[in-house]
């Protein structure tokens, strides 16, 4: 039971961590809670289903399943990144110097728009992700681990590894960290802030797309409303780790996944969605800067 | 530091308007394509391209777009009420006649919507206290509305307590919950606060949804008594209309008075600059608490009225979307403006009813409307220029 919940929690945590990274990166550079980020994740899941159906219709899936899946993956990520890029240009960029509340409300607007956009174009009923893999897996100490779960955990780990490399080793990553520290100063030393922000949105949305796709494979069902609750949970994860901190988001995501699946297993699964909120409120009360965050002095 | 204007490098976009609109239209239809197929994307492309191209030509021909915007601003500077006193008195008289006589000429459907507007007016006025006056973003306001409605529903159906006797009990409970939520609020800055209030709203809804033995879960509570006034049950719609009207007037009057008082001025001071207001001796903690509790109080009133009107409550009426809707009313009307928020509530209740045929696109319009409002008119219809959010 315990190890089973542990594996489930790790799987869930990997997904949360991927979404949380998008939140934390955007918050880092813009100090904006990107409410629409959960919807990008939902778009990713839908795009996965749409492209896979398209490739099945073309006959590619029966010809070579891995190739079809790979193409689906790439296309979904590209499309979601484009959506993220476009959303930033339309809804956030004009508000960059506006009062802090304005972009947040704009983000809520985008979130409502995207939910209804998908509902209207794809229907309000659940969409089924085609059953591709047999529910086989490994038996480890009396716990069954499906290949999908291993896949999710592995993909999350690899992506997080490369993201960390990108942030710490590349020039763009350095620019991103600089913008997160001080926008004005980094623009003075010749960093193009618009480009950095766009790249942030592109990467964050791509990661959310991967998360959405993997969840679609894992649960086999998606709905236009999944983005909201997943977004809130991922945001909780980001805050848990200390918003703005990339290792924090990874750690927070995994921790939240574990807590959620363990408490659902041992306490009550009815309140599954409430645990995230309770954790969030407790953290914000005790340590608002999160586990990895730095406390910021308020400047007058 | 971050308030310094950051000027992006001048756009070196040297394409013609034709290619420019072509690229943008192509981009959006490409994004749209997987969701609805080639045909719909094609239509979108043609429409978008035509619109953009037309707009760019107009723009080249003497900056017409800018002119329309300034014209728009000229004609609707803040939709101010008439300046002269006699004119404003006539206007008020006409409006009150229209409102008072509504049950005489309106059909039941119209009265029903008017009653609903009344409930939303009270709700949005309550939220306006927290968001508009004090500048604290509350995304879980619907929780207080739910607590008010459920308190009356439970007191009435479980214990058989009447409307007037349950009202003080329910309101005390709601105000108390406002205080409880305010405790984290005192420690948090703008957007963190928004998330905590959102979490509070969701927790309340989840509890109502899952506590089957008390709230009957998703099935809701039915058979709630309508209020008893002078020995008669106010069940008839037109009676209920006047009943709500009294509460709306009461709410607007009291909130107006409080907003003009020392407390109200302290709230506005906190909104404008928290540190400065604490340095001139305003107890910001206490006033934030009052703001939350006072806002929650009115949400509770609206909740009780809602339960009495519907005679049925279920968690479905208290979702996050409802919180957003109330927030939209406040923002549309103008943060901190009492007549504005009143107008915002009426518009957002009436508009979807008038647009029944395009019901499906209602939320789509609401979402894009929020974005456009933030970009083009962040102060709302009647809001002053002074409102700003800094914390």
- DSSP-derived secondary structure letter, A93: G
d(CA B119, CA B248): 8
Question: Which pLDDT score, from 0 to 100, does residue A205 have?
Answer: 93
Question: Which pLDDT score, from 0 to 100, does residue A135 have?
Answer: 63
| Same domain assignment for residues B293 and B339 | yes
Question: Given phi > 0 = left and psi -120 to 50 = alpha, else beta, which region is A244?
Answer: left
**Å from B302 to nearest chain A CA?**
24
Residue B337 counted as domain residue? yes
**Å from A101 to nearest chain B CA?**
6
Nearest CA in chain A to B197: A281
d(CA A56, CA B245): 60
Question: Which pLDDT score, from 0 to 100, does residue B295 have?
Answer: 92
| Same domain assignment for residues B238 and B329 | yes
Q: Which among A86, A105, A118 is the nearest to B374, CB-wise?
A: A105
| Same domain assignment for residues B24 and B110 | no
Question: Which pLDDT score, from 0 to 100, does residue B64 have?
Answer: 56
The burial of B199, by beta-carbon neighbours within 10 Å (0-12 exposed, 13-18 middle, 19 or more buried), is given as buried
Question: Which pLDDT score, from 0 to 100, does residue A77 have?
Answer: 93
| Same domain assignment for residues B117 and B205 | yes
**Residue with structure tokens 């107006």?**
B256
Domain boundaries, position B299: 100-376
Residue B86 counted as domain residue? no
Question: Which pLDDT score, from 0 to 100, does residue A203 have?
Answer: 93
| Same domain assignment for residues B51 and B171 | no
Are B199 and A288 in contact (CB < 8 Å)? no
| Same domain assignment for residues B166 and B273 | yes
User: What is the residue-level pLDDT of chain A in tens, covering all 300 positions?
Assistant: 778 888 888 888 889 999 998 888 888 888 888 888 999 999 999 999 888 888 888 887 777 778 888 898 999 999 999 999 999 998 998 888 887 778 888 998 999 899 888 888 888 788 887 776 666 666 666 677 777 888 888 888 899 889 989 988 999 999 988 988 888 888 899 889 899 999 999 999 999 999 999 888 888 888 888 888 888 888 888 888 887 788 888 888 988 888 888 887 777 777 777 787 888 778 877 777 777 766 555 545
d(CA B177, CA B171): 10
Question: Which pLDDT score, from 0 to 100, does residue B4 have?
Answer: 53
Question: Which pLDDT score, from 0 to 100, does residue B298 have?
Answer: 93
Are A232 and B199 in contact (CB < 8 Å)? yes
Cβ neighbors of A171 (< 8 A, separation 6 or more) are none
Collapsed DSSP state (helix, strand, coil) of residue B222: strand
Nearest CA in chain A to B131: A101
Q: Indicate which CATH number applies to the domain containing B317.
A: 1.10.3470
**Which residues of B fall within a CB distance of 8 Å from A121?**
35-36, 40
| Same domain assignment for residues B53 and B107 | no
Residue B91 counted as domain residue? no
| Same domain assignment for residues B104 and B54 | no
From the list A67, A73, A18, the residue with the least C-alpha distance to A50 is A73
Q: In Å, what is the CA distance from B150 to each residue of A123, B115, B154, B221? A: 33, 19, 6, 8
Strands (E), chain B: 221-222, 228-229, 232-233, 312-313
**Residue with structure tokens 């907003």?**
B259
Residue B140 counted as domain residue? yes
Q: Tell which of B375, B379, B387 to mutate to test the A interface (max A CBs under 10 Å).
A: B375
Q: Tell which of A85, A107, A112 to mutate to test the B interface (max B CBs under 10 Å).
A: A112
| Same domain assignment for residues B158 and B307 | yes
Across the A:B interface, residue pairs with CB atoms under 8 Å apart total 158
From the list A109, A227, A40, A229, the residue with the least C-alpha distance to B324 is A109
From the list B315, B313, B111, the residue with the least C-alpha distance to B201 is B315
Residue B83 counted as domain residue? no
Question: Which pLDDT score, from 0 to 100, does residue B1 have?
Answer: 42
Which residue ranges in chain B fall short of pLDDT 70?
Answer: 1-15, 59-84, 185, 190, 231-233, 235, 356-357, 383-391
d(CA B368, CA B77): 23
Residue B93 counted as domain residue? no
- DSSP-derived secondary structure letter, A88: I
From the list A207, A155, A203, A196, the residue with the least C-alpha distance to A43 is A207
| Same domain assignment for residues B45 and B134 | no
| Same domain assignment for residues B34 and B162 | no
Tokens read off for B45: 């492309």
Displacement of CA A134 from its chain's centroid (Å): 26
Q: Do B384 and A94 touch, CB atoms closer than 8 A?
A: no
The burial of A187, by beta-carbon neighbours within 10 Å (0-12 exposed, 13-18 middle, 19 or more buried), is given as buried
Residue B81 counted as domain residue? no
Q: Do B375 and A94 touch, CB atoms closer than 8 A?
A: yes
Tokens read off for A249: 């988001």
Q: Do A72 and A52 touch, CB atoms closer than 8 A?
A: yes
The structural domains of chain A, ordered by start, are 2-286 (1.10.3470)
Quote the number of domains for chain B: 2
Please report which helix (H) or strand (E) contains residue A221, including its range.
Answer: strand A221-222
Residue B75 counted as domain residue? no
| Same domain assignment for residues B135 and B225 | yes
């Amino acid at each position: 039971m315990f190890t089973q919940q542990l594996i489930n929690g790790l799987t869930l945590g990997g997904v949360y961590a991927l979404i949380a990274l998008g939140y934390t990166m955007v918050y880092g550079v813009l100090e904006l809670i990107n409410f629409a980020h959960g919807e990008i994740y939902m778009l990713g899941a839908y795009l996965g289903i749409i492209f896979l159906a398209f490739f099945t219709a073309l006959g590619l899936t029966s010809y070579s399943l891995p190739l079809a899946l790979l193409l689906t993956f790439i296309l979904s990520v590209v499309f979601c990144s484009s959506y993220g890029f476009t959303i930033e240009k339309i809804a956030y960029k004009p508000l960059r110097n506006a009062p802090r509340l304005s972009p947040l409300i704009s983000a809520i607007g985008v979130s409502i728009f995207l939910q209804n956009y998908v509902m209207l174009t794809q229907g309000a009923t659940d969409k089924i992700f085609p059953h591709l893999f047999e529910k086989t897996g490994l038996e480890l100490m009396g716990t069954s681990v499906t290949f999908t779960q291993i896949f999710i955990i592995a993909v999350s780990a690899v992506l997080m590894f490369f993201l960390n490399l990108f942030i710490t080793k590349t020039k763009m990553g350095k620019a991103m960290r600089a913008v997160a520290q001080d926008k004005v100063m980094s623009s003075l030393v010749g960093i193009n802030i618009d480009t950095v922000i766009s790249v942030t949105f592109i990467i964050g949305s791509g990661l959310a797309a991967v998360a959405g796709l993997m969840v679609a494979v894992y649960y086999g069902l998606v709905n236009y409303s999944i983005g909201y609750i997943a977004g809130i949970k991922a945001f909780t994860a980001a805050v848990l780790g200390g918003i703005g901190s990339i290792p924090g988001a990874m750690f927070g995501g995994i921790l939240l996944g574990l807590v959620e699946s363990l408490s659902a297993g041992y306490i009550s699964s009815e309140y599954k969605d409430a645990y995230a909120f309770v954790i969030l409120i407790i953290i914000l009360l005790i340590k608002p800067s999160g586990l990895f965050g730095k406390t910021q002095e308020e400047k007058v | 530091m971050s308030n310094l204007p950051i000027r992006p490098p001048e756009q070196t976009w040297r394409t013609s308007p034709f290619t420019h609109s072509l690229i943008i239209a192509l981009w959006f239809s490409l994004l749209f394509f997987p969701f609805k197929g080639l045909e719909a994307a094609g239509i979108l492309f043609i429409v978008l391209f035509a619109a953009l191209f037309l707009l760019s030509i107009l723009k080249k021909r003497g900056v017409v777009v800018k002119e329309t915007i300034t014209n728009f601003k000229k004609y609707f500077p803040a939709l101010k009420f008439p300046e002269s006193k006699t004119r404003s008195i006539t206007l008020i008289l006409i409006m009150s006649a229209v409102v008072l006589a509504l049950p005489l000429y309106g059909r039941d459907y119209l009265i029903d919507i008017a009653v609903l507007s009344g409930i939303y007016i009270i709700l949005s006025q309550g939220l306006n206290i927290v968001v508009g006056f004090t500048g604290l973003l509350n995304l879980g306001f619907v929780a207080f509305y739910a607590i008010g409605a459920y308190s009356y529903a439970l007191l009435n159906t479980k214990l058989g307590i009447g409307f007037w006797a349950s009202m003080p009990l329910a309101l005390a409970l709601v105000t108390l919950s406002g205080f409880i939520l305010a405790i984290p609020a005192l420690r948090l800055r703008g957007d963190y606060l928004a998330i905590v209030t959102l979490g509070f709203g969701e927790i309340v809804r989840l509890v109502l949804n899952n506590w089957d033995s008390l709230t009957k879960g998703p099935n809701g509570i039915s058979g709630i008594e309508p209020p008893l006034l002078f020995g008669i049950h106010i069940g008839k719609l037109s009676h209920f209309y006047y009943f709500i009207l009294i509460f709306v007037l009461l709410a607007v009057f009291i909130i107006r008075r409080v907003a003009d008082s020392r407390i109200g001025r302290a709230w506005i001071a906190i909104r404008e600059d928290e540190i400065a207001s604490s340095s001139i001796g305003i107890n910001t903690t206490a006033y934030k608490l009052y703001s939350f509790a006072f806002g929650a109080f009115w949400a509770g009133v609206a909740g009780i009225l809602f339960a009495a009107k519907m005679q049925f409550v279920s968690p479905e009426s208290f979702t996050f979307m409802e919180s957003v809707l109330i927030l939209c009313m406040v923002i549309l009307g103008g943060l901190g403006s009492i007549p504005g928020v009143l107008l915002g509530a009426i518009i957002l209740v009436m508009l979807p009813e008038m647009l029944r045929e395009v019901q499906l696109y209602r939320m789509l319009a609401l979402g894009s409307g929020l974005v456009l409002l933030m970009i083009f008119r962040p102060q709302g219809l009647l809001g002053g220029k002074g409102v700003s959010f800094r914390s």
